[in-house]
Homo-oligomer: A and B are copies of this chain.
Amino acid sequence: MCTVPHPAAREEALGFLSTNPGDPATYEMVAELEDEAVDLLGEIAGLDSPHGYLASGGTEANIQAVRAARNMASTTDPNIVAPESAHFSVTKAAEVLGIELRTIPVDDAFRADLDAAAAAVDADTVVVIGVAGTTEYGRIDPIGALTQIAHESGARMHVDASWGGFMLPFTDHEWSFTDAPIDSMAIDPHKFGQAPVPAGGFLAREQETLDALAVDTPYLETTSQATLTGTRSGAGVAGALAAMEALWPDGYRTSYREQMDNATYLAAEFAARGIETVDPVLPLVAASLAPSTFESLREQGWRISRTASGELRIVCMPHVSRESLNSFLADLDRIRS
């Protein structure tokens, strides 16, 4: 789910290889760039006065969302509710933070099952997690309904839009801070945002969320730090801002439409070959391939991955061209013939 950084992002990143946004009083320029980047991320995610920071990626942002929820709640026996389609970082978050993870099933469209969500939450639930662009099938959970379930039980609502966030503004899906009263979001510039790695994003509607994460910081000329890691990548911050300034919104819209076309094309080509395919909702195609075919493709040099159930999984990121898809299909045909 990573891609080639935008040239402007790459260029910007080079100037910041020795800076650390974790020490904003020393690296003032990076701190200013980060403020601008968070504002722009807020614009993309439908949030007027965003609070947040540039994280190492979706894993950190998901851990932080759960950590904030745990710290803000009064229960001593916290749990979180997330669909089985959630990224494995949710499991990591629960393990790291010592919280029970209640996994709910997905429906036939691979979206979080609402009845199961309603049955899973209780007074000890601190946050419900919905995914806007799942890692395996690129599906978008019913964010509005999940938020209602979360808030009715007194829990917070977190949306993992790590991958989807830079495409969903150009769709009709319900996913953003404007679409529903969600509390926090993971949205990664270094995925479809075409920023250099590492540049993730953690956004919150209220400053209280960041306050719940803050620890005191002696020997820094700022008083507290709300991030999970201490040192962070100035190159990631500068590169993310440069990418967003260059591409939001027109460049991202163009990339999204191109790759959605590529995914639709690829799915149709698989179907035409009698290969069982999961219809793309975002530019991600999953298809059933024999394990031996998968291995042969890897041996040919294709850097492909699989879903948990073993399907071939192709993410049409901005660097994916129609030519490379055709070349892939030609290799696939050769192997299967």
Question: What residues make up the interface of A, taking CB atoms closer than 8 Å to B?
Answer: 2-5, 10, 13-14, 17-20, 22-23, 25-26, 56-60, 63, 67, 71, 87-89, 91-92, 95-98, 135-136, 188, 190, 196-198, 200, 215-221, 225, 228-236, 239, 298, 303, 305-308, 313
Given contacts A17-B235, A60-B229, A221-B305, 11 further A-B contacts (CB under 8 A): A2-B231, A4-B18, A5-B17, A13-B17, A22-B57, A56-B56, A56-B232, A58-B231, A63-B228, A92-B230, A96-B96
- Roughly how many angstroms separate A217 CA and B308 CA in the complex, as a whole number? 9
The answer to whether A218 and B307 touch (CB under 8 A), given A14-B14, A18-B5, is yes
Give the CA-CA distance A303 to B3 in the complex, in Å.
36
A219: contacting residue among B5, B232, B313, CB under 8 A: B313
Is the Cβ of B229 less than 8 Å from the Cβ of A229? yes
- Given A96-B228, A197-B18, A198-B198: A216 and B88 interface contact (C-beta under 8 Å): yes
Q: In the bound complex, what is the Cα–Cα distance between A241 and B9 (angstroms)? A: 24
The complex is assembled from copies of this chain, and their number is: 2
In the complex the two chains form, is A59's CB within 8 Å of B229's CB?
A: yes
In the complex, what residues of B have CB within 8 A of residue A19's CB? 2, 197
A221 CB to nearest chain B CB (Å)? 6
When the two chains form the complex, which single residue of B17, B98, B190, B218 contacts A88, counting CB atoms closer than 8 Å? B218
**Please, which residues of chain B bring their CB within 8 A of the CB of A234?**
197
A321 to chain B, nearest CB (A): 16
Taking the closest CB of chain B, its distance from the CB of A153, in whole angstroms, is: 22
Residue of B nearest to A190 (CB): B231
Q: Are A230 and B57 in contact (CB under 8 A)?
A: yes
Asked whether A219 lies within 8 Å of B17 as measured between CB atoms, the reply is no
26 example contacts (A-B, Cβ-Cβ < 8 A) are as follows A3-B18, A14-B14, A17-B196, A17-B239, A18-B196, A19-B197, A20-B197, A25-B305, A56-B56, A56-B198, A56-B233, A71-B95, A87-B230, A88-B230, A92-B215, A92-B225, A92-B228, A95-B215, A135-B219, A136-B218, A136-B219, A188-B231, A190-B231, A200-B231, A221-B306, A233-B236
